Amino acid sequence: MGYKCIQCGFTIKTLYLQYSPGNIRLMKCDNCKAVADEYIECEFMIIVIDLILHKPKAYRHLLYNVINQETLKFQGLLWKLASIFLLFDACIHSYQLMFVEDKCLILEYSKGKLGSSMSYSSLVSLCCKMLMDVFLGNFMFLLTFFFMVKIFLHISIGVSRCNDILLGLLISCYFKIFLIAMMVWEFPSSVVFIIELFCFSSNAVALKVMTESSMSRCVWTCFSAYAIKLFITQAPELILLGKLMQGWSQMPFTLSLKSTFI
Rounded to whole angstroms, how far apart are CA atoms 208 and 222?
11
CA distances from 28 to 13, 35, 128, 209 (A): 11, 4, 54, 20
Rounded to whole angstroms, how far apart are CA atoms 257 and 261?
6
DSSP string of 75-108, one letter each residue: HHHHHHHHHHHHHHHHHHHHHHHHHHHHHHHHHH
Rounded to whole angstroms, how far apart are CA atoms 56 and 209?
6
What integer pLDDT is reported at residue 71 of this predicted model? 56
| Cα 244-248-251 angle, rounded to 5 deg | 140
Instruction: Return per-residue pLDDT of the chain as tens, 262 residues.
Output: 678 999 888 888 888 888 887 788 888 988 888 899 999 888 889 999 999 999 999 999 998 888 865 556 667 788 888 888 888 888 777 666 655 554 454 444 444 444 444 456 666 766 777 788 788 888 999 999 999 999 988 888 888 888 889 989 999 998 888 877 777 777 777 788 888 899 999 999 999 999 988 999 999 999 999 999 888 877 655 555 555 555 555 555 444 444 444 4
Rounded to whole angstroms, how far apart are CA atoms 203 and 138?
14
Q: What is the pTM of this model?
A: 0.78
Contact 37, 26 (CB under 8 A): yes
